[in-house]
Structure formats: C-alpha cells, structure tokens
C-alpha cells in the first residue's frame, strides 16, 4: 500500500504509464481554481497566447491560417495563489511519491490549455518532460478535445521525432485515431509518465469548453540535460517535498536553476 494509491493502482501505473484519480480537491478548492482560471484567461486573452501546434514558432506568435485554436498560459502560480496551493496539495504529493518512487519532489513548470467549442485545435501525439499532473476543469471526452494515450508506451523510452519542427512529436507513427481516450469528469486528475505517448483531439462540440491545468514535476535528484537550459521556466526547482542535496550554492551559481 502506498501513501496515496493502492498496490493495484501503483501496478496499473507501472504497466500503463498513467493513473486516473478522483476526489483530490474539495468542491470549494475546485471552484476557486475553475473561477480563477476563467478570470486569468479573460485578463490575458490575446494572440500571443496561441498554443496550437503549427510546426514552428516565430516571435512568440504561432503563425497559422488554421481555424482551430488552443489558448495557453504558463506559470499559473505567478497569476493567483490558488494555483500554487494546488501544486503543493498533500494528497497529490502522496500519489506522486508512489508513482515516482522518490520523496524528493520538485516543480518543473505549469501551464494551462483552453480549447474553445467548435474550434479547439488538436494536439499531436507526443512525449513530455518529467511526470505530468493533468487536472480536468471540465468533463472531457473525444468530442470536446479530451486526452488520449497509448497505454504502455512509456516502456519504449524516448522515441524518434516524426515530422515536427518543435520536437517530441510522434503523430505520424502514433495517430490520435488509434489512441485510447481518457474519459474524465470535472475535477478528475490524470497523472502520467513523461514518456507516455499522449495527445488530444479537436474540440468539435457545440458548447463545451475543454479547460485543463497541467503541472510537471521531477525528482530533485534528476540531472538536467544541457539542452534543457533554454526551456527552464520561473518556478523550476521549487521543492514541494523532501530535500534537494545536489543544489549548487556556489556564489557563481546563486541565480542558476541547478
């Protein structure tokens, strides 16, 4: 028996690369996150928030003539305190200890993706960084752009990129049509390995949003790859549980993420 999961749930995660959990947040906590999420997107709604994958990035604006869109915000903990509280939720951290098999849990980054009805873009199948926590702020299924996964694909290790300019995309070999949909209710959380191949469909519904809040964590003992230097974000290295024995405290590195 783990801290937050049963032995059966832990084994499911090991076999499939993800676990679907419920009732981590109270109704009051979920409402506050949902309300402040909407407030944030109303305040920041602008073209430079476009996050739909179009094969390239120029001047922080993804140029595309597609009618589909995904609006995104990174580092939500910088916008309202409720997001930071959720990152440090004790029930959630217990589950993360179970799946990562480490007591030393550190933040990598956070982001939110909002898919509007009828024009919410798909996101190709890909792998990510560290371990991901996907909080559903709406009921989600294939119709409104829900999460899809390839169970067990985390065992394949890092995969070769197929036809993407931004990296980590495997949509030619692992199609969204053949992936397994994750059906989730509002407030449900899916935790998955960074190596799990996953993506999401178009939001073709008439009146259903698809809002998600994603947190990525890592083991404090993980070694940063040189290529990651350009992708580090505010909040990286914030320790939420345990100890980081490898943090460099030399004067020369006092402002470094390492």
**111: exposed, middle or buried (Cβ count in 10 Å: 0-12, 13-18, 19+):** middle
Question: 7-52+66-253 architecture in CATH?
Answer: Sandwich (2.60)
Percent of the chain with pLDDT over 90: 52
Band (pLDDT 50/70/90 cuts) for residue 230 is very low
State phi, psi for 12 to the nearest 5 degrees: -60, -45
Does residue 84 surpass a pLDDT of 80? yes
- pLDDT for position 61: 43
Q: Which residues pair with 252 in a beta bridge?
A: none
- pLDDT for position 199: 87
Does residue 60 surpass a pLDDT of 50? no
């Amino acid at each position: 028996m783990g801290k937050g999961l049963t032995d059966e749930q832990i084994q499911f995660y090991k076999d499939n690369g993800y676990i679907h959990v419920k009732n981590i947040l109270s109704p009051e906590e979920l409402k506050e996150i949902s309300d402040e999420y909407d407030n944030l997107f109303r305040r920041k709604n602008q073209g430079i928030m476009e996050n739909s994958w179009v094969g390239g990035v120029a001047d922080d604006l993804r140029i595309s003539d597609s009618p589909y869109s995904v609006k995104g915000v990174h580092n939500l903990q910088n916008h309202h305190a409720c997001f930071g509280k959720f990152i440090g939720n004790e029930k959630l951290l217990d589950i993360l200890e179970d799946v990562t098999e480490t007591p030393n849990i550190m933040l990598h980054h956070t982001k939110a993706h909002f898919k509007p009805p009828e024009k919410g873009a798909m996101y190709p199948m890909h792998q990510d960084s560290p371990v991901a926590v996907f909080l559903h702020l709406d009921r989600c299924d294939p119709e409104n752009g829900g999460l899809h996964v390839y169970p067990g694909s985390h065992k394949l290790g890092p995969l070769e990129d197929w036809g993407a300019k931004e990296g980590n995309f495997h949509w030619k070999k692992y199609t969204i049509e053949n992936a397994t949909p994750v059906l989730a209710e509002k407030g449900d959380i899916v935790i998955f390995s960074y190596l799990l191949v996953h993506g999401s469909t178009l939001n073709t519904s008439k009146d259903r949003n698809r809002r998600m809040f994603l947190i990525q964590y890592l083991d404090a003992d993980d070694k940063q790859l040189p290529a990651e230097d350009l992708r580090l974000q505010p909040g990286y290295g914030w320790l939420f549980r345990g100890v980081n024995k490898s943090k460099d405290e030399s004067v020369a590195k006092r402002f470094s993420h390492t």
